[in-house]
Structure formats: structure tokens, C-alpha cells
Amino acid sequence: MLNYLTLIFLCQLIGEAFVAATGLPVPGPVVGMALLFAGLVFKGAIPKDLDTVSGALLANLSLLFVPAGTGIMVHLALLGSDGVAVSVALIVSTVATIAVTGLVMQALTARQRKGESDAG
């Protein structure tokens, strides 16, 4: 299992290095996650131990938000001066996420139904 935890962190490190080298405006962990996803698609399955390790990380995900919460408390005055802009950005991004998720779900459901009707 330590091998898979190392793999997760290695993908994150590669993502961070790639972003630092290219200057892309994307977080390094997102690039690392895409790299891990591509590897899993290529492999065609999720290894059992990787599932176990990632499940443990997700179960303790709330601990990873402690530094972000601390940062918000430290910079509360800055947040207060830009509170309207932050609130608008949060609302717009939430609505956009819900809309895109709904549209993707509709497209995938329609595609699945079409595949089932063609097979049956």
C-alpha cells in the first residue's frame, strides 16, 4: 500500500513540477490527478490497494482543510474587503458546476439508453 501512496504523491509532484516549468494557470495537484487518471485509464482498472489508500485519504479529507480554514481566519480582513466579489464568484461557480454536471449526466444517460436500445 505504501507503493500506491507514493504513486499518488509522485503524480502530485510531477504535476507541480510541470506547472512550475510551464507556468500554466492550473494547480499542480490537478495536473497530477489528470496524470494518475490517464494511467488508470491506460491500465483499465483500479488496483485494490490503490482503492484502499485513496479511500483512507478521502475518509480523512477534512483534516486537509484545516490549513485553508486557518488561512481564512488569518486573512479575514482581506476577505471582508473583497467579500462581495468572493460571494459572487462562489455563487456563479456553484451554479455553473451544477449546470454542467446536469448536462453531462443527461448526455451520458441518453448515450447509455441509446446503447441499450441498440443492443436489445
Provide the 10 A C-beta neighbour count for residue 11. 21
Cell of 14: 510531477
Instruction: Give residue 31's pLDDT band: very low, low, confident or very high (50, 70, 90).
Output: very high
Q: Smallest Cα–Cα separation from 54: which of 36, 66, 67?
A: 36
- 3-class DSSP state of 24: coil
Instruction: Give residue 74's pLDDT band: very low, low, confident or very high (50, 70, 90).
Output: confident
Model pTM score: 0.58
Over 70: is that where the pLDDT of 52 sits? Answer: yes
What average pLDDT does the segment 27-32 reach? 93
Report the pLDDT value the prediction gives residue 78, as an integer from 0 to 100.
80
Measured N-to-C along each axis, helices 2-22 and 28-43 cross at an angle, to the nearest 10 degrees, of 130
Cell of 64: 486537509
What average pLDDT does the segment 53-71 reach? 85
**Residue 87: partners with Cβ closer than 8 Å, 6 or more residues away:** none
Report the pLDDT value the prediction gives residue 80, as an integer from 0 to 100.
80
What average pLDDT does the segment 106-118 reach? 86
